[in-house]
Every structure is written in structure tokens, then in C-alpha cells.
Amino acid sequence: MGVRISACQLAVPPGTEDNSQLAARIGKTADWILLSTGVEHRRIADHDDDPIELAAKVAQQVIEEVGPPDLLIYAGAIPRQTLPDSSAHVLGRLGLSGVPGFSVNAACLSFAVAVRSACAVLESDPAVNRVLICCAEFASRGRNFTQPESAALLGDGAAAAILESCDGECGLKHWSMQTFPEGADLTEVRGGGLRHPFTEPSGTEHLFEMDGPALLRFTVPRMRRFLNSFLKDAGLSPQDIDLIVPHQPSGRALEVLELFGFPNSRVVKIIRDYGNCVAASLPMALATAMQEGRINRGDLILLTGTAAGVSLAAGVFQW
């Protein structure tokens, strides 16, 4: 038995913020933003918008395309509230009473980890034949405008995908993940938990903070070793991969993939149009590739990326 990704869609808020609109707020020029981040414009949700509404909207689109799920996994880094988890709210919006749901939070790698989890459930539980994975990330609400690079990176977006059991060889063929906690302080939102609860005076604890240059120096050599080992264990080379669908951390981070041996023409890049949408970035990139007809039956698709932690992950999915 195999597993296929039967549908994948993205959705974004209607509001667009280009670099000329943002430049004055962070004390930089529009050209500096594009050069430093690779982002030209990003979608920004209104203050009163509810991420659950956008997640349910895009989830409904894939349900109409494929059918209702037996399980819902909310794969996001930014919860609507602490309890209950976001999957319950999406299920409520969709009218799916009785369908099980839970959340996966692996920061920017949440979708990849959810795919791994969904495949495990589909392969082991005969009662589950269809899994819906969705999330909506309103990352712009956590921007720290005193940190120009990270503030310019973040955007808002949502995505949903349905995975199904199927006959044939399709499915997740190889998976690996590593976490290096010595880099945990390089990307943080410290507030919201017990360390800095919301009852404390407001400060930067509840905003996204990142040391971009240090993070890149920390991540690149580890990612090189990780991917080399991953491909060796899978019995593959970079040339065997038909399409790379990565998380969209920044323009510079995506350029590094070419240094690892992956042709630039095979890397899906949406960072320029949407920015870094945290956990929604990877499925938004996958949805874009599917809409553009870049994936064919039998293709080997590499889902990969990095996340706060610092975590690295990769999975080869045969279409």
C-alpha cells in the first residue's frame, strides 16, 4: 500500500505589503530589503482576521476536490490560542464533528513532520484512509520592527493538503530529522508560555527575534552534512531528485541549496512573492508546484527545510 498527496492548495489574505511600504518602518530601503531577504512583497492579514477562518477556507477547497477526511492534523507554529489546540477550531468551522484532530508544532517544519505522521497513520490504521493537513500562519503579527531583516522576512499565508491511501509505489520513501539545541536561542519567540506569560508587561518577549547571520553560519554546514548523509542512506544523489520543495526561510538560504548540488531550476521558490510564512511556507510551495504542473507521476520530490530549534528535516516522496 502506498500514500499519495491527492490535493494541495494555498490561500493568502488579500492585503499586500511591498518593500516600499515597509522600508520606512524598519529604516531601510526597498532595495536593501530585496537584497537582504529575497522578499519583494508579502501578504498581511487585517488585525481582526482569524487564522482559523483562512485555514478552514483552504481546507474546504481540498475537501471539495477529494472528499472529507478521517483525521485532521493542524501543522502550524503559531496557535490561535493555548487550549484547545487549533485542530478543534478548524474541525468546528468545517462541521466535522467526531473526526479526530490534533496539532503538530515543529516550527517551520510542521508540515513535513505532519506528512511523516500522516503516512504512519495511513499505513497502520485501517480506519484512516484520508488525512487532511492544514495551517494558517499570521506571522506578521509577531514582527519586531527594531530587527529589520526578520521584520522584512515574515508574511501571512495558509495551506492545506490531503493524503490518501493508494495502491502502487507512491509515498514517503525516506525520512530523517535532526535537532541541534545549542542553536535554540538563534530564533525565538520567548513569550506566551510559562517562561514569559501574557500577564507580564508587554515587551519583545512576544515578538519574533532572529540572529540571521549567526543562524546561517550555524545551519549551512550542518545542513550540508545532513543532506549528504540523508541522500546516501536513501541511495540517491541530488541528480535523482526531480523537484526540491523547501521551506522558504530567505532568499539567501534557498540559494545555498545549489551549493549542495541541487540545480536551481529544480528548486521551488515563492519567497519573493510571499515572504517567510513559517509553517505554511513549505505546503504553499508544494501547492504552487502542483498548480504550475511541475510534478508528474513517479517523480521523486524532496520536502526539506530548517526550523527553530535548530531542526533539520528531509523526506523523499514518490509521486
CATH number 3.40.47.10 is the correct assignment for the domain at 172-318: yes
Regions of the chain where pLDDT drops below 70: 198, 200-202
Amino acid at 229: S
pLDDT at 201: 63
pLDDT at 189: 86
246-278 pLDDT tens trace: 999 999 999 999 999 999 999 999 999 999 999
Range list for CATH 3.40.47.10 in the chain: 2-168, 172-318
Q: Nearest 5°: phi and psi at 48?
A: -90, 0
CATH of 2-168, one of 3.40.47.10, 3.40.462.40, 3.40.1360.10, 3.40.50.11290: 3.40.47.10
Q: Nearest 5°: phi and psi at 260?
A: -85, 0
The residues with which 179 forms a beta bridge, in sequence order, are 311
How far is 319 from 314, CA to CA, in rounded Å? 16
**128 CB-side CA count, 13 A:** 21
Amino acid at 230: F
* Distance, first Cα to last Cα, the chain: 14
pLDDT at 46: 97
CA distances from 43 to 38, 175, 276 (A): 15, 32, 10
Q: Are 22 and 148 in contact (CB under 8 A)?
A: no
Beta strands in the chain (DSSP E): 2-11, 16-18, 41-43, 71-75, 101-104, 130-138, 156-166, 171-179, 187-188, 209-210, 243-246, 300-307, 311-318
pLDDT at 191: 80
Answer yes or no: pTM beyond 0.75. Answer: yes
**Of 264, 19, 59, the residue nearest 149 (C-alpha):** 19
The residues with which 188 forms a beta bridge, in sequence order, are 209
Mean pLDDT of the chain: 96
